[in-house]
A and B are shown apart, each in its own frame.
Chain A
């Protein structure tokens, strides 16, 4: 069996989040070294606070200050901290019920080893030196055997409150295009375009996916198509895409390669953009630095008759 390709794929985006009144007060409070909870209809204090009562579903806005000292309610040791975690040395993930709160907050607990952590141990917040109004304003928790701290009676009103945060997300994958597409990509390096034929409906898929989506059976028979083909339809792109080094306007076309039963997509060059038409006969233009054809250009043949490609539109 031929080699199946693999490559890392990182999906990463800095999502933004509007906070609304309760999260705004909570995060602004952390900036000022004040921890705020919210009082529910049955009198419990939830930390971190939420906007809606989990029991009655009513809106809750009664902010209550709690203290930066508390008790570990449960924990798990993290042997190998990963990128973006609160500490870069091994630490405990701990649920901490702050004094005055009825629920526990998840954060890192800095301790020498798992033998130094136990449920019921007393801890306090270690504040970050630079605070911006984010959960990371709590650098971590640390063991504490002193007195309970006293709340200052803060009501949750702040100058210049934080109203939004950036919540970056990142997922790291190992991506494999699978057997069929690996073979397709390998053939491209020889400047050949190779699809696969469905054993049931006989349609030729380019690029191949390894199965026919209509018949639900595996495809295996390799079929070289093109290199010439017909423009079935197209659009003229007038807006410049980010990270794409193509001058506008350019033509983005669906191209049915000779012998293929569905169109693939490509750019048309070698002809003024406003002279591209449905039925135009084209061929690929390869460049040294790209796996795929850089673009397709007119072959000079007469246009294909509409009847010959209308089923491929």
Chain B
């Protein structure tokens, strides 16, 4: 028996900001869930199960969100699951929810991811003082910056590529009312003049710290037929993981990322992602990860990803727009960031992305990664159902 086609019929998110002191965490997730239900014109009673994800527990000190948030998400009397895969969690949470529909376990599932970075300190959560070990010397940027340098060496990319990505994503964010950073006076010169934090990564090439939540309503073919607005159809979805450190690990282009993308393309019948995919929303927490992931995901040959950035292909009006929402560089509630990528892909193929809509977007990739490039999750969504 074939799988049930999975449709996204509701998308909701909060206006992402540095600190939402006016709401509890329950109130924050409620806003996103409520707006996803409103988009789908459904009520709590229409939801059969809830799948929730968040950042690692030490990041914000909520150890059992599935327990604390059941009331706020209308989950009482229903199955409620929690997914846990570091920064990729928003993507893998959506995929677990999608599998429940695809397997015909449930007809309609609410999936949600969140984080309130203002109530914690992710940097502390990443650098616990483990006995006998040397303290982490340089923070999250210090972990990723050497890999960026390795990419620059391998590809021969000009030093300016990272700033082009940041300039593009921050301008895209100006068209997205939900984005955290709205830098109306952004210029390329300002990005290039911003302080070098972890050379080769500049301040303006790093993501902010945000409070926010994102939710989606996933449903089956019958549910999609009742939806008031066009659905997005899942054409492929996959997750892969690999150890953070092992002999032969390629941090510039991890094998798990390549394999995950290949699996998604096989499911979706994508022969040439560069030709067959209209746009991509990719998890880019530091600007240089755009060209790196373009190669890892097969949009460019090895060493060629930066040329897509440099030539404007990834601009909002380019041939392959990347991070139309403004991306992680403009909005980063860590636990929700993966789901925001997936949700943006869905909004694009539904034609509901507003000012940052890509004309004629029919197939769009949503991508997330997390840990030390350890977890990958991706989906490809389309305007037409998989068998059409």
Chain A residues contacting B146 (CB-CB under 8 Å) are 233-235, 252-254
B100-139 CB mask vs A (1 if < 8 Å, else 0) is 0000000000000000101111001100111111110111
| Cβ contact within 8 Å between A17 and B246 | no
Q: Which residues of chain A from 1 to 36 have a CB within 8 Å of any chain B CB? A: 5, 7-9, 11, 13, 15-20, 23
- Assess A13 versus B124: contact at CB under 8 Å? Given A233-B146, A234-B149, A252-B146: yes
Q: B183 within 8 Å of A by Cβ?
A: no
Q: A124 within 8 Å of B by Cβ?
A: no
A18-60 CB mask vs B (1 if < 8 Å, else 0) is 1110010000000000000000000000000011111111010
Q: Look across to chain A and name the residue whose beta carbon is closest to the beta carbon of B116.
A: A18
Assembly CA distance A19 to B24 (angstroms) = 5
- Assess A238 versus B197: contact at CB under 8 Å? Given A15-B119, A177-B132, A262-B245: yes
Q: Looking at the complex, which of B247-255, B329-337, B340-348, B377-385 is the stretch in contact with chain A?
A: B247-255
Q: Looking at the complex, which of A95-103, A136-144, A163-171 is the stretch in contact with chain B?
A: A163-171
| Cβ contact within 8 Å between A55 and B139 | no
Q: A203 within 8 Å of B by Cβ?
A: yes
Among A185, A236, A246, the residue within 8 A (CB) of B196 is A236
Among A13, A19, A204, the residue within 8 A (CB) of B61 is A13
Q: B30 within 8 Å of A by Cβ?
A: yes
Q: How far is the CB of A266 from chain B (nearest CB, A)?
A: 8
Assembly CA distance A177 to B72 (angstroms) = 40
Chain A residues contacting B134 (CB-CB under 8 Å) are 265, 292
Q: Looking at the complex, which of B198-206, B229-237, B311-319 is the stretch in contact with chain A?
A: B198-206
Residue with the greatest number of chain B CB neighbours at <10 A, chosen from A177, A241, A243: A241
Q: Look across to chain A and name the residue whose beta carbon is closest to the beta carbon of B199.
A: A236
Q: A267 within 8 Å of B by Cβ?
A: yes
Assembly CA distance A157 to B198 (angstroms) = 49
Q: A115 within 8 Å of B by Cβ?
A: no
Among A16, A20, A177, A278, the residue within 8 A (CB) of B27 is A20
Q: Looking at the complex, which of B1-9, B15-23, B162-170, B270-278 is the stretch in contact with chain A?
A: B15-23
Q: B228 within 8 Å of A by Cβ?
A: no
Among A51, A239, A253, the residue within 8 A (CB) of B26 is A51
Assembly CA distance A205 to B247 (angstroms) = 7
Q: Look across to chain B and name the residue whose beta carbon is closest to the beta carbon of A292.
A: B134
Q: B74 within 8 Å of A by Cβ?
A: yes
Chain B residues contacting A310 (CB-CB under 8 Å) are 154
| Cβ contact within 8 Å between A235 and B200 | yes
Q: How far is the CB of A85 from chain B (nearest CB, A)?
A: 19
Among B137, B153, B154, the residue within 8 A (CB) of A267 is B137
Chain A residues contacting B225 (CB-CB under 8 Å) are none
| Cβ contact within 8 Å between A239 and B252 | no
| Cβ contact within 8 Å between A213 and B246 | yes
- Assess A177 versus B22: contact at CB under 8 Å? Given A20-B27, A262-B247, A278-B149: no
Q: B355 within 8 Å of A by Cβ?
A: no
| Cβ contact within 8 Å between A17 and B153 | no
- Assess A237 versus B150: contact at CB under 8 Å? Given A5-B132, A18-B119, A169-B61: no
A272-309 CB mask vs B (1 if < 8 Å, else 0) is 00000010000000000001100000000000001000
| Cβ contact within 8 Å between A214 and B248 | yes
Q: Which residues of chain A from 242 to 258 have a CB within 8 Å of any chain B CB? A: 243-244, 246, 249, 252-254
| Cβ contact within 8 Å between A244 and B137 | yes
| Cβ contact within 8 Å between B135 and A51 | no
| Cβ contact within 8 Å between A54 and B246 | no
| Cβ contact within 8 Å between B246 and A262 | yes
Chain B residues contacting A20 (CB-CB under 8 Å) are 22-24, 26-27
Q: Which A residues form the contact surface with B (CB < 8 A)? A: 5, 7-9, 11, 13, 15-20, 23, 50-57, 59, 163-164, 167, 169, 175, 177, 181, 185, 198, 201, 203-205, 212-214, 232-239, 241, 243-244, 246, 249, 252-254, 261-262, 265, 267, 278, 291-292, 306, 310-311, 313
25 contacts between A and B (CB under 8 A): A9-B128, A9-B131, A13-B58, A18-B24, A18-B25, A51-B30, A54-B76, A57-B71, A59-B30, A163-B21, A177-B133, A204-B247, A205-B247, A212-B246, A213-B243, A233-B150, A235-B145, A236-B196, A237-B138, A237-B197, A252-B138, A252-B146, A292-B134, A313-B153, A313-B154
